[in-house]
Each structure stands twice: as structure tokens, then as C-alpha cells.
Amino acid sequence: MFCIDNRCTDIYFNLAAEEYLLKQKRGNFFMLWQSEPSVVIGKHQSVAAEADERFLDEKGIALARRFSGGGAVYHDRGNINLSFIETVKQPDFVYYLQQVVDFLEKVGISAYADQRLGIYVDERKISGSAQCIHKDRVMYHCTLLFSTDLDTLNAALNGDPDVESRLPGSRTMRAVPSVRSEVANIKEFLSEPMDIKRFMHLLFHSFVDDDDNRIYRFSAGDMETIERLKAEKYACKEWIYHKSALTFT
């Protein structure tokens, strides 16, 4: 597996990078990344139902739509994102989730998962995930709340549940609502203090140190293609608000 320590914090670039690795590369990848404050909604969700746009505008929080399903999430520099992208014969998303749970166990946190592949500690959610299949390629990506501003998270993800929310791009189908949970930060459960940089270092090297894995860095060609996908799709209002049929092959 190729391991990418992605230092870019542009949410639109990072979402484009995921799609690029899934659809245009053939190797198996693990990517660790963060983003500046942003709300990311699922492919089949309504902006108005999921996010408080006035609050986002006031705070300078970006709004983005990913190409996988699932619910809305909030990112900031206290949140960590993990993406697993592989070629498989039979998808097994629990396998990826278990790797995250196993790492948490190594740092002294006893976590467990639910049927929606969320990760919890003491009945509070510390991780949400989403999945995507493209031909024989799969992607499992998840968040890890380490030291996120939870007040901002709750305010940003305060959409109007009563708004008429049709699936973007459809006149008849309803959008998929998020399932709300009480959330918590991982740092609350650490037996010894640790900053997020140290936590991320341990997390990344838990994969890199496997004999079968090695570090991968985006080439100039990779960067050019990802930047083009970002500009043509992920940073476009047509995609964010309407999930229009923007294609990139």
C-alpha cells in the first residue's frame, strides 16, 4: 500500500485527490489529511437541510460536497481524515474501520463501532465514515475528532430539518438526512496528554512501518490533474448546491 501524508488543507483539493486516486490510479492507497474549517455534505444531501449557511459565511467556513454518500461532517485543524482506496474483489468496509479501532486501542482508547460504521467512546461519537465503489475500486474514508471546536461543529451543522429537501439534481427523490449523534474529542480519553501532531505521526507510521507499505508523494502530473478536477468540479457551485452532472474522466 502507498501511504500519503497529504499536508494540503484545501478541502476542494483533498476531495479531488480522493476521486483521482479512486478513479485514475490502480495502486492501493492510504491518505492522511486535514482541512481548514469546512462543512462537507454527502453526495445525496441538501445544503439547506444540513448546514447553517449564514453561520458559515460569518465564520469563513467553506462548504463542500463529496462524491461518497453518508452524512454531513465538520472539518477543522483539530479533525483528522483518513482515506483508504484499494482494488478489491469483494468490498469489506469493516476491515478498514477495524484498522482504525485497533490503532486507537494501541494509544489506550477503548472504542467500538455501530452498524453505520461510526466509532464511539463512552457512547459519544469520535468518528464518522462514508464509502464509495467505482468498478473494482473501493474507498472508505473517515474522520477522527481529536481536538475539534465542538461548539462550532454543532453551530455549522445546524441546518433546517423542515426545509423541503429534494435530492440535488432530482425533482422527485428526497435528499438523505444526517443521523445526529453526541460527539466528543479523542484527546478527552487519552490517559496521557498528546498533541495532534504526535497523534498523527503515530497514526501515519502505524501504516508506513508495515513492511509491505511505502510512502507516496504526488507527482507534478498528479498535482496538475487533481487541481483541474478541483477547479472543474469540487470548487464549483453547480456541484456543491445542485450535484449537477459534472463529469471528469
Burial readout 165-180 (b: 16 or more C-beta within 10 A, e: otherwise): bebbeeeeeebbbbee
Q: Which amino acid is at 210?
A: D
Please indicate, yes or no, if residue 247 is contained in any of the structural domains. Answer: no
Give the N- to C-terminal CA distance of the chain in Å, as an integer: 24
Please indicate, yes or no, if residue 169 is contained in any of the structural domains. Answer: no
Please indicate, yes or no, if residue 168 is contained in any of the structural domains. Answer: no
Domain CATH for 91: 3.30.930.10
Sheet of 119-121: strands edge to edge?
112-113, 119-121, 124-127
| Whole-number Å distance between alpha carbons of 140 and 19 | 12
| Whole-number Å distance between alpha carbons of 211 and 207 | 9
Q: The domain containing residue 139 runs over which residues? A: 2-163+174-241
Q: For the chain, how many structural domains are there in total?
A: 1
Instruction: Supply the pLDDT for residue 210.
Output: 80
Please indicate, yes or no, if residue 210 is contained in any of the structural domains. Answer: yes
Instruction: Supply the pLDDT for residue 247.
Output: 47
Please indicate, yes or no, if residue 143 is contained in any of the structural domains. Answer: yes
Please indicate, yes or no, if residue 248 is contained in any of the structural domains. Answer: no
Q: Which amino acid is at 215?
A: I
Q: Which amino acid is at 9?
A: T
Please indicate, yes or no, if residue 249 is contained in any of the structural domains. Answer: no
Instruction: Supply the pLDDT for residue 244.
Output: 60
Please indicate, yes or no, if residue 26 is contained in any of the structural domains. Answer: yes
| Whole-number Å distance between alpha carbons of 109 and 105 | 5
Instruction: Supply the pLDDT for residue 125.
Output: 97
List of the chain residues with pLDDT < 70: 164-173, 243-249
Instruction: Supply the pLDDT for residue 209.
Output: 85
| Whole-number Å distance between alpha carbons of 101 and 103 | 5
| Whole-number Å distance between alpha carbons of 92 and 133 | 11
Instruction: Supply the pLDDT for residue 245.
Output: 46
